[in-house]
């Protein structure tokens, strides 16, 4: 059952360490993978500093947040140390922070040490696929550094999450998880929080669609919902295509997500997501 202590007051404008994130209208988080084995663009962005070109593409397309990740979290991927992660992350992150001072930077990490180092170079947000379950010091670091935080649900860890997907009532499981973790976040004085149901992280294909259809159930916490379904298996497996062919399907399901209450779309393709949002906003006028 949802605890009264975890219902936050509605906040449509976030203060991300001095940068303003207005979610009165939906916004775009652009994905910038620095891993060599990402399911969609593995290895591309580190070659010849291509991450600079990709970042420019994402920003020009309408992304107001850049989410940078140096760890693969696809099914069966293994956890890596914060040292390995930071060795990959530090140079691109510092370069991008200098090039885009107005952009909100998010680091996709489950390691509190990485989160601390990212905060030290000016990152405004942490996107934690484990929702604080892998590293129990994460909430402390986020709170002490006044970082915005994406609280995501995962069942297990990436290495085993698809071996034993969520059992029982899916919505109840996620509501209980968010309720518990939000209490811990409050205890650590974390104020600016986004909720992510974790599409593809320990859920079956059918469960992903169940989550998408019931997205509004998670509005009970009065927190913005982040949806990350870009080019994922719930699209390409259902359509029997590759991730590289899943852009149209991504736009379709992002539209559904917006209709069901999403505030942030986490995407590989910001131009198309921006067009989706513009059409959605026009539709909502009537």
255, HSE (Cβ side, Cα atoms, 13 Å): 14
Element (H, E) at 196: strand 193-196
List active site positions.
Answer: 232, 266
Q: Residue 215 has which token pair?
A: 């997205």
Secondary structure element (H or E) that encloses residue 282, with its range: helix 270-284
Give the CA diameter of the chain. Answer: 52
- HSE (side-chain half, CA atoms, 13 Å) at 5: 10
User: Distance (Å, rounded) from C-alpha 169 to C-alpha 142?
Assistant: 30
Q: What does DSSP assign to residue 217?
A: G
- CA distance linking residue 106 with residue 193, whole number of Å: 13
Report the 10 Å Cβ neighbour count for 180.
14
């Amino acid at each position: 059952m949802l605890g009264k202590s975890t219902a936050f007051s509605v906040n449509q404008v976030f203060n991300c360490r001095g940068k303003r994130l207005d979610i009165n209208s939906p916004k775009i988080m652009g994905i910038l993978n620095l891993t060599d084995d990402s399911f969609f663009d593995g290895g591309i962005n580190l070659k010849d500093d291509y991450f600079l070109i990709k970042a420019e593409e994402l920003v020009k397309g309408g992304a107001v947040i850049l989410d940078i990740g140096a760890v693969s979290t696809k099914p069966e991927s293994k956890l890596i140390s914060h040292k390995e992660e930071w060795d990959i992350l530090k140079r691109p992150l510092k370069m991008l922070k200098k090039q885009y001072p107005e952009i909100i930077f998010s680091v996709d990490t489950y390691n509190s040490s990485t989160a601390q180092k990212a905060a030290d170079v000016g990152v405004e947000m942490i996107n934690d696929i484990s929702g604080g379950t892998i590293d129990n010091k994460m909430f402390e670091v986020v709170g002490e550094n006044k970082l915005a935080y994406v609280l995501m649900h995962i069942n297990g860890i990436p290495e085993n999450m698809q071996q034993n997907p969520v059992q029982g009532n899916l919505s109840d499981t996620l509501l209980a998880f968010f309720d518990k973790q939000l209490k811990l976040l409050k205890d650590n004085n974390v104020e600016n929080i986004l909720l992510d149901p974790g599409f593809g992280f320990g859920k079956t294909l059918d469960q992903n669609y169940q989550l998408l259809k019931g997205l509004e159930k998670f509005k009970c916490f009065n927190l913005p919902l982040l949806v990350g379904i870009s080019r994922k298996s719930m699209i390409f497996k259902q359509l029997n295509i590759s991730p590289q062919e899943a852009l149209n399907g991504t736009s379709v399901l992002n539209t559904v997500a917006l209709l069901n209450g999403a505030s942030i779309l986490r995407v590989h393709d910001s131009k198309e997501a921006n067009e989706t949002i513009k059409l959605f906003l026009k539709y909502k006028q009537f």
